[in-house]
Chain A
Amino acid sequence: MVAAEAPLSAPLEVGFDYTRSLGPVLSRFVTALRDRRVEGVRGSDGRVHVPPVEYDPVTGQPLSEPVEVGTEGTVVTWSWMADPLEGQPLAHPFAWALVRLDGADTALLHAVDAGSTAAMRTGMRVRIRWAEQTVGHIRDIACFEPVDAASPEVPAVARPEATAEPVTMITTPVHLHYRHSASLEESRYLRGLAEGRLLGQRCPECAKVYIPPRGACPTDGVPTREEVELADTGTVTTFCIVNVPFLGQRITPPYVSAYVLLDGADIPLMHLVLGCAADEVRMGMRVKAQWRPREEWDTTLRNIDHFRPTGEPDAPFESYAEYL
């Protein structure tokens, strides 16, 4: 029996550069930002919303009347970011603030490059520091700075032609970092794989053998701790031939994605079948694991590169029909 140790974990990166369409109101706002101007929108009650909102917070009515506001404003409240996180406006300590721009009735959330908390106070005056390159994005405002700050020399940038296309989309990268843990049972199964062993787990109540193990027996809701060593031979219950390329794909199509019911297991596991033409794979085909070289083994089912046909006669349909 594989010794019980701490659960295995590995990084899980989840990220995408989302492409967002803005709709008319927000499009107008970011287009103005590109032009180094700020336009809010007038609400049902006459309030000027900056940032703009598409639908009035009180009446729910669609809003559309643009109102240009100033590029200077007043800090309504602030907090201090001592240790900036990935993706935030500045890499050195800064203040988060709600800033009410001159002419607006609501406040915009952004960063203030104040240098220290001593320079921050509610009611202080700040102005926009524009990004060197403005593209039509909230980050065209690089941050705010105190109005009395000495402004670095910024070459005057010619405003884009009035006929330039409005900005209708923004791209927002969202990249998150997680630590994914396997359960204790799954960790034992994975450590077994690292030794070239296939360890199933039996439920104490229904006595069925699961591989890979689930968090608990799905039928009885209890942990499946009893280990059962399984052979690396089995039967293809059903399968498909994957022809479609997709983002993040790791195996080159066409390939056979199959459910393999290992001898002694009560649920099939998903893997590849190679070693014959894809269209020769059949339901009921007998297969055996083709392991990678031992020195490449790790705590993963990928130690098995694929399953290949053994050449034995197919298993009769009745022997695996209940596992479909």
Chain B
Amino acid sequence: MAAALAAVLGTGQTKHTSKRTDVSMAGLCREAIDRALADAQVGWDEVDAVVLGKAPDLFEGVMMPELVLADAIGATGKPLLRVHTAGSVGGSTGVVAASLVQAGVHRRVLAVAFEKQSESNAMWALSIAVPFSMPVNAGAGGYFAPHVRSYIRRSGAPDHIGAMVAVKDRRNGARNPYAHLHQPDITLESVLSSTMLWDPIRYDETCPSSDGACAVLIGDEAAADAALADGRQPAWIRGTVMRTEPTVAVGRNHANPQAGRDAAAALWAKAGITDPLAEIDVAEIYVPFSWFEPMWLENLGFVPAGEGWKLTESGGTELGGRLPVNPSGGVLSSNPIGASGLLRFAEAAMQVMGRAGDHQVSDARTALGHAYGGGSQFFAMWVVGSEKPGVRR
């Protein structure tokens, strides 16, 4: 028996910024949740279950904060799940929430992911030295920069590709009222001349540290049909996938991880997609350091290995290009770590629902949401579409 159908009925997110000092954690979540419920036109009483995702509790210094947030997020008296899969968690949250509907357990499920990392310091939390280790670790950027270097070497990509992605994503972000960074006037020259933080990654090619939240309301077939009949386009979930591989293992390809490739292949098969580059109208992929765009384009199978940078360089990933990537501005424009994956999933849904405002890709009917985490080892992805999936497999 195949899974039941599920669809996104509404999404919501906060205005992301470096320090949301105007709200508590509960207030931050509610801003996103209230918007999602309004967007879905679903009342509190109609939510059957809540799935909350966030990155390590160390960021906020609260152990299992979903428990203290139960009242605020409308979970009291209901089933509540807490997902934690490192940086991909926002994506996993969407996948788990969808599975509650796809397994026929609930009719409407609220997925919410947040991070209020200004309560501590993200670099500190990511760099805590463990006894007996050599404290070379320099945060996420320091972890990924060597692998970016090996990508550049292997692919022969020219130096400016990373900067091109940064320019594109920040300019896109400037069209997104919720994005943390608004840099409409950013240029290739300004990015290339910004400080090298972890050579080869520059300051302007690096995601910000943001406080923010995202919420997605997922409903079953009947709820989605009703929304459509009411003139509100749902985003049908055509497939979800999660894959994991070890952090360190002989033969791991850190720039093009097997788990990512396997996940994408499984996802395309589930969603009935045979030519991703042609059939995906827009992709929201997790790019916290600009070079990850060409790397993920290859990993996801949009282009062959070594060719990702060419699609970027051709302008193909711009808003009006062949495959718009991160029209929302992506993680480079806003990075509340626990929420970023769900933001990708939500933005993909917004595109096929026609609700992406100034960063709407015209005639977007099929979209990819992608998240990764850990040492490029955890992957969570979904494909959403404006057309109801046909015959069940």
Instruction: Given A62-B30, A240-B145, answer yes or no on A301-B131 (Cβ-Cβ < 8 Å).
Output: no
The answer to whether B71 and A60 have CB atoms under 8 Å apart is: yes
* Tally of chain A residues near chain B (CB < 8 A): 72
Instruction: Given A182-B132, A246-B138, A302-B134, answer yes or no on A174-B61 (Cβ-Cβ < 8 Å).
Output: yes
| A126 CB to nearest chain B CB (Å) | 26
How far apart are the CA atoms of A142 and B250 in the complex, in Å?
57
B-side contacts of A214, CB under 8 Å = 246, 248
How far apart are the CA atoms of A233 and B247 in the complex, in Å?
24
How far apart are the CA atoms of A113 and B309 in the complex, in Å?
68
Pick the interface stretch among A34-42, A75-83, A91-99, A248-256. Answer: A248-256
A270 within 8 A of B: yes
B137 within 8 A of A: yes
A-side contacts of B301, CB under 8 Å = none
Instruction: Given A60-B44, A247-B123, answer yes or no on A21-B21 (Cβ-Cβ < 8 Å).
Output: yes
How far apart are the CA atoms of A208 and B128 in the complex, in Å?
29
Cross-interface CB contact of A219 among B44, B71, B250, cutoff 8 Å: B250
B-side contacts of A74, CB under 8 Å = none
* Tally of chain B residues near chain A (CB < 8 A): 62
B-side contacts of A246, CB under 8 Å = 123-124, 127, 138-139
The answer to whether A240 and B200 have CB atoms under 8 Å apart is: yes
A322 within 8 A of B: yes
How far apart are the CA atoms of A62 and B133 in the complex, in Å?
47
How far apart are the CA atoms of A174 and B62 in the complex, in Å?
9
Which residue on chain A has the smallest CB distance to residue B245? A218
B-side contacts of A240, CB under 8 Å = 142, 145-146, 148-149, 198-201
A residues 47-76 with Cβ under 8 Å of B?
A: 53-60, 62
**What are the 6 closest A-B residue pairs judged by CB atoms, nearest first?**
A240-B145, A218-B246, A23-B24, A241-B199, A10-B131, A218-B249
* B binding-site residues for A, Cβ under 8 Å: 19-24, 26-27, 30, 44, 58, 60-61, 71-72, 74, 76, 118-121, 123-124, 127-139, 141-142, 145-150, 153-154, 195-201, 246-251, 253-255
| Known A60-B76, A247-B123; 20 more pairs at CB < 8 Å | A12-B130, A18-B120, A21-B20, A21-B24, A53-B71, A60-B44, A168-B21, A182-B132, A208-B250, A238-B153, A241-B199, A242-B197, A247-B121, A257-B136, A257-B138, A266-B250, A272-B136, A300-B134, A323-B250, A324-B253
Q: Name 14 interchain pairs, CB-CB below 8 A, sorted by A.
A: A21-B23, A54-B26, A218-B249, A240-B142, A240-B145, A240-B146, A240-B148, A242-B138, A246-B138, A246-B139, A251-B135, A278-B199, A279-B199, A301-B134
